Structure 1
């Protein structure tokens, strides 16, 4: 029940229907927040943070996931200013700000004089979607990983994360938590790889799922095998399985400067539907 007539308030379990209606305005772009809302039911015990809502005349018009990631949802200019003001009062708790470029840029315009300098900023990240069979033949060697693959898969996950983010997920004692996350994705059936002779040649994970879409992350090809088309056929295999067994739309976002990845995704049949930005601390 949204009692606040105007401004920002914390959302809780009773607000789930209103938030579900909000994310449904663009359920693919908003799949991460939709996923988090569904698995936590907006219960503070499971959120690991907060979900903020911006209310006008008693109606929820925007939201913002405020935990390890600060993720705006359908954020109007007024909501962006209000979310930024709340974030300034609380000081920085997140590791990243990520989401639609306009909202992320607006948030940072308000926050940059109050928060520490970011470690990296990626202003242009095409958001891509596919809802049909891939345009290339899937790699038959790509399969869902199994618990017994964890020891082989984990180093590739660390290498991908370090290459993509710029710091190791094991930094600061994070190894156990990151390994648990990799194991969790395997257990859910959301981890895919081509493994030969004890080496991961290609891998990718589904990171978020809703009834409307899923989002892929962690795409990686062994550095010694890049340029052979493994990413293209591997992604085709992941897309084919995901569309058949996980969600009706597959999405991801990619750095604009990552030309090889963008070529691979285009060859599979992904099309750009939005632009994301990410600010990392």
Structure 2
């Protein structure tokens, strides 16, 4: 399989990214209920187009990553946070997630950030392994922060310098 091509999202990607996001929904990485119609737009005030990077394989969208400043305060302007990542089921295992994480790191650097952070559910072993392999370290754990499907799940805070 070819290497994924990473690019900045375009407004016209919203419908396809929304469909990918809904198809990728899982209690492995989501704390919100499974989306039901009518669906919210993929892009909006909280998640603008310019904060999203898209992975393409063979000209088709295979995944995305959202990158943003974690708070609106000037005191945290030097930090970027991965605020969502998804890979299409058929593209998993082909380096798309790794390419997206690396692109997010590069983008954060280009934006002048000194750190990049993320939050991941404690039971999401595949994602935690990817993040660790890309230099992220556990910086904190909120034990049993979420109740998902009758099970308490930790919220793991990870980060790395740039």
The TM-score, its normalising length taken from structure 2, stands at 0.69
Distance 2:51 2:147 in 1: 25
Distance 2:139 2:91 in 1: 30
Structure 1 distance, partners of 2:83, 2:19, is: 16
- The equivalent residue for 1:205 is 66
Output one character per residue of 1:119-177: Cα deviation in whole Å (capped at 9) or x when no partner.
xxxxxxxxxxxxxxxxxxxx771121011211221211233445523633335x4x2xx
Query: Is the aligned partner of 1:221 residue 2:82?
Result: no
Q: Which has the higher helix share?
A: 1
Find the partner of 1:236 among 70, 80, 102.
102
Question: Which runs of 5 or more residues in structure 2 are unaligned?
Answer: 71-75, 149-162
1:233 deviation in Å?
2.1
How do 1:42-57 and structure 2 match up within 5 A? none
Residue 18 of structure 2 aligns with which residue? 154
- In the alignment, which of 51, 55, 62 is matched to residue 194 of structure 1? 55
Task: Give CA-to-partner distance per residue, 1:181-218, whole Å, 9 cap, x none.
Answer: 5244343x111111345642121112544313122122
> How well do the aligned residues superpose, as a CA RMSD in angstroms?
2.6
- Aligned residue runs from structure 1 range 26-65, under 5 A: none
Larger proportion of strand:
2
SS in 2 for 1:182: coil
CA drift at 1:274: 0.9
Give the aligned partner of residue 102 of structure 1. Answer: none
Larger radius of gyration: 1
Partner in structure 2 of residue 247 of structure 1: 113
> Does 1 or 2 have the higher relative contact order (CA < 8 Å, sep 6+)?
1
Conserved 8 A contact 1:142-1:194 = yes
Q: In 1, distance between residues paired with 2:104 and 2:81? A: 11
Map of 2:35 onto structure 1 = 169
- In structure 1, stretches of 5+ residues that fail to align are 1-138
Where do residues 132-143 of structure 1 align in structure 2 (5 Å cutoff)?
141-143=5-7
